[in-house]
């Protein structure tokens, strides 16, 4: 658990800056939350997914970090919490898909691995070669 928290330190710093600095400079709430906070949640989640992979702890970290900002600067707009966590999770998923595509391009993943091939197939499309029965034409 501690190792996971150490991995996302740079994202937490970016999100802390995004949530605490705009209200101090008098930016309007919709600009501060919409453009800065949500934008950095998406971008930082994307970069984390692109370089480190998928992490389910990222939205939880966003919630814990954003809670004091909601209580201090914003008039208890609790909807910002789940929305920012969802946007961070979506950005993390997009980055992870980019990481998978980059691995495919570099052939870092063994494509002959049955589990890997199954993960990219739609349910019902994949049949392993060993289990395919030759068609009988009697």
- DSSP state letters, 16-66: HHHHHHHHHTT--HHHIIIIIIHHHHHHHHHHHHHHT---THHHHHHHHHH
Taking only the tens of pLDDT, the chain with its 138 residues reads 556 555 566 666 666 666 666 666 666 666 666 666 777 778 878 888 888 788 788 778 777 777 777 777 666 667 777 877 888 888 888 888 888 777 766 554 555 555 555 555 554 544 555 655 666 665
Confidence at residue 132, expressed as pLDDT on a 0 to 100 scale: 55
- Cα–Cα separations (whole angstroms), residue 80 to 84, 99, 111: 6, 28, 41
Of 88, 116, 7, residue with least CA distance to 51: 7
Confidence at residue 28, expressed as pLDDT on a 0 to 100 scale: 61
Of 23, 15, 20, residue with least CA distance to 40: 15
> CA angle, 12 as apex, 46 and 21 as ends, to 5°?
105
Confidence at residue 123, expressed as pLDDT on a 0 to 100 scale: 47
Of 60, 62, 48, residue with least CA distance to 16: 62
Return the HEC string of 55-83.
Answer: CCHHHHHHHHHHHHHHHHCCCCCCCHHHH
Burial label for 10, CB within 10 Å (0-12, 13-18, 19+), is exposed
The sign of the dihedral angle between the CA atoms of 111, 113, 119, 121 is positive
Confidence at residue 31, expressed as pLDDT on a 0 to 100 scale: 62
């Amino acid at each position: 658990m501690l190792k996971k928290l150490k991995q996302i330190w740079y994202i937490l710093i970016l999100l802390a800056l995004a949530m605490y600095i705009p209200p101090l400079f008098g930016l309007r709430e919709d600009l501060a939350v919409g453009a800065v906070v949500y934008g950095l949640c998406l971008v930082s989640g994307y970069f984390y997914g692109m370089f480190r992979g998928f992490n389910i702890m990222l939205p939880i970290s966003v919630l814990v970090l954003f809670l004091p900002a909601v209580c201090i600067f914003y008039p208890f707009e609790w909807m910002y919490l789940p929305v920012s966590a969802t946007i961070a999770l979506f950005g993390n998923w997009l980055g992870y898909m980019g990481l998978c595509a980059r691995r495919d391009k570099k052939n870092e993943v063994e494509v002959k691995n049955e589990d890997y091939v199954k993960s990219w197939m739609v349910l019902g499309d994949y049949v392993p070669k060993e289990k395919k029965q030759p068609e009988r034409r009697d």
